Chain A
Amino acid sequence: MRRAGIAGFAWISTFDGWIERPMFESLAGPWPWYVAGPLIGLVVPFLLLLGGKVFGISANLRHMCAATPTPERWKPSFLKYDWKKSGVWNLTFILGIFLGGFLAVQLIGMPDAGQHISEATRADLQALGIQDFSGILPTELFSWETLLSPVGLFLIVGGGFLVGFGARYAGGCTSGHAISGLADLQLPSLVAVLGFFAGGLLVTFGVLPLILG
């Protein structure tokens, strides 16, 4: 897989000539769960200690809707609030996530997750017709070309729609409920996480075989 690098930043000489490589390629993933998990968990106290903020990402979708420049009368009352006051810290936080994703790929490289998953998963996905295991995502499902196909549109835009709708309905997503909520021993969050899994299993064993098989 082609790895991107910042031009002039990370050129390494090899016997084959000059090839472009990320600077810290040796740090490439997959970072093991016992490293990544605790590092992600630390975000909870970091945000609490910095400004008493609770780790939760999907509220930004509401802030972004509220910030959309549309006539006020078009906006549902749920989107009429002072998003700058309540959301600027969180929007800055997700801008950081965006930049972090950029740096991770530029300096270390996009990990080839398809190469790292278990044999069983690979076999199951091959049975569903997936052949490209070279990158982070199966390109035959997620690309600008497939966006124009019914399946691609359903997975990308339909999946996105339900992520947005469900996260706001449930009052949180993986970060707000599964991490912040469970870390604070909130029973409603446990119910939400069980819902996440019910939905995920329904898609994995019901919907995907139907639309890909």
Chain B
Amino acid sequence: MANQTTTRGRAGTGTQGATATAQAGPVVSPLALMGYLLIGMYLGVIFVQSEVVSWFRIQEMFRFQSFHMYGIIGMAVAVGAISVQIIKRMGITSATGEPIKLSPKQWGDSRIPGARYWIGGTLFGIGWALLGACPGPIFALLGGGVSVLVMALLGALAGTWAYSAMRSKLPH
């Protein structure tokens, strides 16, 4: 489907890189920002109290020794999928009146099919298991007072920068 948004889209150089970029809409109102802040706070509390921020729980998951993490991710996907279907089928618009569109992920143009997904995904999985935290939990743990994770965040920013620098040489 063609991009029907009226934004001037200065994201041009890297539209494949981030879904958020493609989602850029009109200027966000302060009220909406308050909404995003509250949804984030809600999520941060759940992240901590469900223990998905815990290195122990990630180990338990990768060792297939508890249903806890699988149950959480599975239920989150189920609730998310049902919500997306309802929104799509009923043509529900966002609070600001725009149609809600989810852009399909692109397969990329590499000769290796889906290279970015399985190579990038595997590298991410290695990092996830070493650190025991993915990006969301890094921020929740920092807020919770695990200050050493600021070094993990700096590492993640360095990794993002390194990817950005060598992006044109990597198969996507």
A117–B125 Cα distance when bound, in Å, is 21
A96 touches B44 (CB 8 A): yes
B23 touches A52 (CB 8 A): yes
* Min CB gap B28→A, angstroms: 5
- Contact residues in B for A161 (Cβ distance below 8 Å): 127, 155-156, 158-159, 162
**A177 touches B (CB below 8 Å):** yes
Residue of B nearest to A157 (CB): B155
* Min CB gap B100→A, angstroms: 5
- Contact residues in A for B163 (Cβ distance below 8 Å): 78, 164-165, 168-169
A100–B53 Cα distance when bound, in Å, is 13
User: Secondary structure of the B side of the interface?
Assistant: helix
**A23 touches B (CB below 8 Å):** no
A92–B77 Cα distance when bound, in Å, is 23
A166 touches B159 (CB 8 A): yes
B65 touches A118 (CB 8 A): yes
B144 touches A169 (CB 8 A): no
B50 touches A62 (CB 8 A): no
Residue of A nearest to B99 (CB): A52
B20 touches A136 (CB 8 A): no
B144 touches A37 (CB 8 A): no
A85 touches B33 (CB 8 A): no
Extra 18 A-B pairs, beta carbons < 8 Å, given A36-B46, A156-B131, A160-B155: A33-B71, A43-B42, A53-B20, A65-B161, A77-B13, A85-B7, A92-B36, A121-B63, A142-B132, A156-B155, A159-B128, A179-B77, A181-B105, A195-B121, A199-B121, A199-B123, A202-B129, A208-B129
> Ordered nearest first, which 10 A-B pairs have the shortest CB separation?
A100-B44, A96-B40, A195-B121, A199-B125, A37-B75, A41-B79, A160-B155, A33-B71, A166-B124, A162-B127
What residues make up the interface of A, taking CB atoms closer than 8 Å to B?
4, 27-65, 68, 75-82, 85-90, 92-105, 108, 110-111, 113-114, 116-118, 120-121, 124-125, 133, 136-138, 141-144, 147, 154-189, 191-204, 207-208
